[in-house]
Chain A
Amino acid sequence: MGFSVKRRDFLGLVGGGAIGAALSPAPWKGLDDIAIWTQNWSWKPRLPRGPVEVAFTHCGLCPAGCGLKVRSVGGNPVSIHGVPGHPSSTGFVCALGLAGRYFSYHPSRIVEPTIVGTSGQRRGISRKAAVRQLGDWLDKARSGGGHGSVAILDNHPGRVRSLAYRGWLATLDGVHIKGLREDTPINRLRTMLDGPAPELGLDIARARTVLSFGAPVLEGLGSGGAGAHLRGRSDTEKPYIVQIETRPSRTARGADLWLRIAPGTETVLALGLANILVSEGLYDKEIIAQQALDLDGPGGYRELVARFSPKQVSRITGIDAATIKKVARRFASGPAVVIPGVDPGGGPLSAEAQTAAFSLSLLNGDVGRPGGVVARRAIPQEGQLADTVELADVPDGSIRLLIVDGAAGGCAMPTSLLKRKLNPSEGRVVSLSPFERSALHGADLVIPSTTPFENIDEAGVPIDAPVDSMGLTVPSMRAPDYSVDSLSVLSMVAKSSVVPTITELLRGRSDRIHAGGRGSVFDPSKGESVPLTEFQTNGDLWRALMGGGLWTDTSAAFTCPPFRLMGANAAIRDRLPQALEQPSTADRQAREIVLMPFGWRDAPGDGPLPPVMAKLFRETRLRLDSRFATICPKTAGELGFAQGDKASIKTSLGSITVEVVLDPAVVDGVVHVAVGPSTEAFGDASPGKGDQPLDLPSCKNDDCWRVIPAKMLEVVS
């Protein structure tokens, strides 16, 4: 019998198969899986694919220079982790460090050189044309002016790059201006020492007391993880932190003692503390007797501080006399660190406040003792270098060409201050920043440079590091073609001298360290340090550094040289007694308030903010940006404002519109407004001109813009 398939059999087979398949889990599973296609994306992000690599580097976003472990996929850094056991950062990375790689794709990044045309409009030009233009302006500036007519504002002074700047400027009779950083005030202490002084650092970890004048001690000042160490509550060895600040900052909240000081009266408090140290004989009598040059005699320090009686000081600062005495006694009970803080937005304390604060360190014999101010050994340098000065010390109208380095972080400066230093008719600003920066709205020419994760540079030495160190920010992302290293720009313009490349400079320093033979090198992949002597050749050290290693110097004994408690600068010395003439906040006039701009430690002063942080800060209101003004309910009530009201803050230079936020911890008569990127506009640093509190200051002195007289008016909508 033959086997034949009839139509009927075939249909039966197909039908039966269909029923059987329908009863199996297959169709259900299939239908479940197609569910994934029913989602309605209009744009679907593509995840990075490719080989996974792990590399070590250092963070270039701030001087802390934390050690980073970077995981890359297909050449893209997809995650950042801390390096456990790292000598300075001990495994920590801050929020900004975690997100900092996003700067490379920040919406406000400048993607081509731009120039301001005659019409005032900014337009893109080729790099070649930009360099030619820079060359022209350089020639003009040199021919038209004398010393200091060409200047570089260096946002990260102290690197080998800074040395290259100074070498180049030396050939042009230019000046190197140090950008504001959290470690800037330590230089004030150096000027108080008689004779050449070494690099100084603060030994916070071993201090018994930390006397912080508004420094973000618990928010990431100095090496990574220092704040966490200080905060650890089980640690009985940790220093006692006294925070002297007007604002309920995170450090103020977390400090052992928060002295809520009246705005701008830090000098008075410092001298008041000195008064108690001197009058109660709590100072280091041996050192003072041997080294102090200006304690006694007419116009001497003793005479000065005698006028700052606890009663007087209490009246002006708003801190009661008993507390002042308590703090002074605590301070004198062991090694202490004094930090006259630099606020990323509010700027530094006045020169006299810094002097008065550091005089306490000198009185206490803390300079040169463990747990106080320590000296770092120097690596020899060669070549002729231009002067390095602070912006406040630059004569008004003297700069004809200002080149602004593109380093990240730093602190914001008032627009008006920067403008004043420029020659009114010919002053030009050339920015090498990869971003629009609030203080540089009016940069005449922008040649965008690389962002921190794209270029090789030297990581910073944190303020609280007792010894020198060298770590590299090894690039973990490819720099885009439109960006250029700042030294390359200079070498393209330079005609009379050759500017070394950044790699040559770094290699040179590495070789000099190797030649010195001191210290040890930390290997991040192993988590341990080996003595430098184990590195046979200078190439071995270089390779270790390029692999994310960190060289740290050995510490050296340091004997405090003779010093002047009131500093060497006569102008500053004269200003010290004037601090007493300040009116107290109780004498405030109706509707007169003071504006205190400030910056968030993790939202770079005048740079942008990674969009993810902008989003999170906006959602949680953990950081209120410049659209908000914090004020105490009492003052708000007197001025007729309630929570959420819109207000206009006016100074002689302009006004900003803000939303009122009430906080009972804020000092009466003060309005705090943050400086920095907007959390609204993807973290853009400068969404529009005239909306930043730093466009407002109008101060007596160039070196301080912390306290600005202002009026707060209702906004009629």
Chain B
Amino acid sequence: MIEPLDNRAPTRVFLPWIGFWMAIFALGAYCTVLCLSQGLFHTNMNNRFGFGIWIFLDLTVIALGAGAFFSAFLLYILKKQALKDVIGAAVVLGFICYSGAVVVLAIDVGQPLRAWFTFWHPNAHSMLAEVTFCLTLYLLVLAIEYVPLILKNPSLSKNVSLLVFEGQLHKVVVVFAGVGAILSFFHQGSLGGLYGVMNGRPFAFREHFFIWPSTFFLFILSAIAAGPSFLILINKLASKISKKQLVRKEAYDFLGRISGWLLLAYVGLKSVDTIVWINHTAPASGYSASEFFKEASFGTWILFAEIILFGLLPALVLINNRLRKNPLVMIVAPLLVCIGIAINRYVMTLQSQSLPTLPFEEFVLYTPSLVEIGVFGGMLSYGVIVFSLSYRYLPLFPGLQQKAKT
């Protein structure tokens, strides 16, 4: 029997919490069964909206989950010891984000039983094939990185074989950190490439460098900028809920600083990209940028929100050493960063489909159905449940453990 760590959430608090999320999870599972057994007509997607809320969600979640690979890269390869406090949580978060995304993708495709065809008949030119390969392999890597954490549960660590295995895994973690970094790098990029390569969709299409469109690089940069911010948010949230100081201030500070600088770089490049797109790429395809933003639902305000309000602003805040000391700022700014990245993924996914390419097609809006939201809720609750269980049973926060021992 696996027992919780003795200084974690007591059962009378934990059970109702988990029960609540389990109920939402059950609802999501029901919606999933509907989609899988009867078809995707339960969603509100249509022939103009082949990608709906799920793809948007997947992209966002994977971008936010980038904290996992980036932290591992910084800690194990660049030896940034400040991240030791958060690496456990980062790995679990990454695992949740990626496994959730893969499951939602499987619900999203019309014939999930054929998903393996991507490995069977891969189209080397397809960004989605690249995504699938990277995602699958990286999920494997994340699972491998998650195993040692599980084995650190005191009940499990009584078993010599598991203990030995954990020790051996720990020794090779640097290999997985490296491989994970490569894989993540490529699939964050190829997720961006999904849009940038669409030569038939002037709203999404971007200039190419070698074989990669600019969105390839922008997605990588935005993901590694948002990942640390998301880590801050989740750790702070976990601290708030558990009423324990889980992570040292230095770790937050380091994450905030790195998020800020990367975001600043991203905003700069994104601005350049946008200017090139408006003045060169789109007009060369016969579309003026003003057409893209003429509908109120996707007006220029969304461009402003994405780049300035939820981009430049939090970046400037986070690179300021004095402002980072303020605990409120360290919640608001990372939140803005995460929203900004979500807006970017939303725009790329939904605005590019709302806008017709054919001049006589109509502008179409899309709202997700209850079933789609249900599956979304299911994935969210899955994340909360896995994180809560990890928190309760596994030494996610080495800092917390030390404190208990002394």
Contact = CB atoms under 8 A, between A and B. Distances in A.
B78 interface: no
Interface in A314-349: none
Nearest to B117: A35
A40 B120 CA distance: 19
B37 to A, nearest CB: 8
A37 to B, nearest CB: 9
A39 B120 contact: no
B113 A39 contact: yes
Given A31-B120, A32-B120, A39 B114 contact: yes
A31 B120 CA distance: 9
Contacts of A32: 120
A42 B120 contact: no
A119 interface: no
Nearest to B115: A38
Contacts of B36: 40
Nearest to A39: B111
Contacts of B37: 42
B159 interface: no
B114 A38 contact: yes
B284 to A, nearest CB: 31
Contacts of A42: 37-38
A40 B39 CA distance: 9
Contacts, number: 16
A467 to B, nearest CB: 44
Interface string A4-40: 0000000000000000000000000001100100111
Nearest to B47: A619
Nearest to B113: A38
A38 B111 contact: yes
B198 to A, nearest CB: 24
A31 to B, nearest CB: 7
Interface in B230-266: none
A31 B37 CA distance: 24
A467 B117 CA distance: 64
B265 to A, nearest CB: 45
Interface in B101-139: 111, 113-114, 117, 120
A35 B121 CA distance: 11
Interface in B64-89: none
A35 B115 CA distance: 11
A35 B116 CA distance: 10
A31 B121 CA distance: 12
Contacts of A31: 120
A208 B120 CA distance: 67
Interface string A33-76: 00100111010000000000000000000000000000000000
A38 B111 CA distance: 8
Nearest to A38: B113
A32 B116 CA distance: 11
Q: What is the interface residue range for chain A against chain B? A: under 10
A interface: dominant SS: helix
Contacts of B113: 38-40
Interface string B27-41: 000000000111000
A40 B114 CA distance: 10
A27 to B, nearest CB: 12
Nearest to B36: A40
Contacts of B38: 42
Contacts of A38: 111, 113-114
A628 to B, nearest CB: 15
Nearest to A28: B120
Nearest to A621: B362
A42 B114 CA distance: 16
A344 B230 CA distance: 64
Interface in A630-656: none
A620 to B, nearest CB: 11
A17 to B, nearest CB: 24
Contacts of B117: 35
Contacts of A39: 111, 113-114
Nearest to B38: A42
A32 B117 CA distance: 9
Interface string B14-50: 0000000000000000000000111000000000000
Nearest to A31: B120
Nearest to A619: B47
A38 to B, nearest CB: 4
B379 to A, nearest CB: 22
A39 B111 CA distance: 6
A40 B38 CA distance: 9
A663 to B, nearest CB: 15
Interface string B202-234: 000000000000000000000000000000000
Nearest to B121: A32
A44 to B, nearest CB: 14
A537 to B, nearest CB: 59
A42 B37 CA distance: 8
Contacts of B111: 38-40
B282 to A, nearest CB: 28
A39 B109 CA distance: 12
A31 B36 CA distance: 23
A205 B329 CA distance: 83
Contacts of A40: 36, 111, 113
B119 to A, nearest CB: 11
From A31, A32, A39, A40, name the one whose CB has the most chain B CB atoms within 10 angstroms: A40
A176 B113 CA distance: 63
A516 B113 CA distance: 70
Nearest to B112: A40
A689 B114 CA distance: 47
Contacts of B114: 35, 38-39
B109 to A, nearest CB: 11
A39 B117 CA distance: 12
B143 to A, nearest CB: 25
A281 B114 CA distance: 80
A42 B117 CA distance: 21
A42 B39 CA distance: 10
B81 to A, nearest CB: 48
A38 B114 CA distance: 6
A128 B114 CA distance: 56
A117 B117 CA distance: 60
Nearest to B37: A42
A40 B112 CA distance: 9
B331 to A, nearest CB: 41
A42 B36 CA distance: 11
A498 B113 CA distance: 66
B7 to A, nearest CB: 48
B199 to A, nearest CB: 27
B66 to A, nearest CB: 33
A40 B36 CA distance: 9
B400 to A, nearest CB: 47
B272 to A, nearest CB: 39
A31 B113 CA distance: 13
Nearest to B111: A39
B36 to A, nearest CB: 8
A659 to B, nearest CB: 14
A42 B38 CA distance: 8
B40 to A, nearest CB: 11
Interface string A77-121: 000000000000000000000000000000000000000000000
Nearest to B362: A621
A32 B38 CA distance: 25
A32 B114 CA distance: 11
Contacts of B120: 31-32, 35
A409 B139 CA distance: 62
A301 B117 CA distance: 82
Given A40-B36, A42-B37, 9 more contacts: A31-B120, A35-B117, A38-B111, A38-B113, A38-B114, A39-B111, A40-B111, A40-B113, A42-B38
Which are the 3 A-B pairs with shortest beta-carbon distances? A38-B113, A38-B114, A39-B111
13 contacts: A31-B120, A32-B120, A35-B114, A35-B117, A38-B111, A38-B113, A38-B114, A39-B111, A39-B113, A39-B114, A40-B111, A42-B37, A42-B38
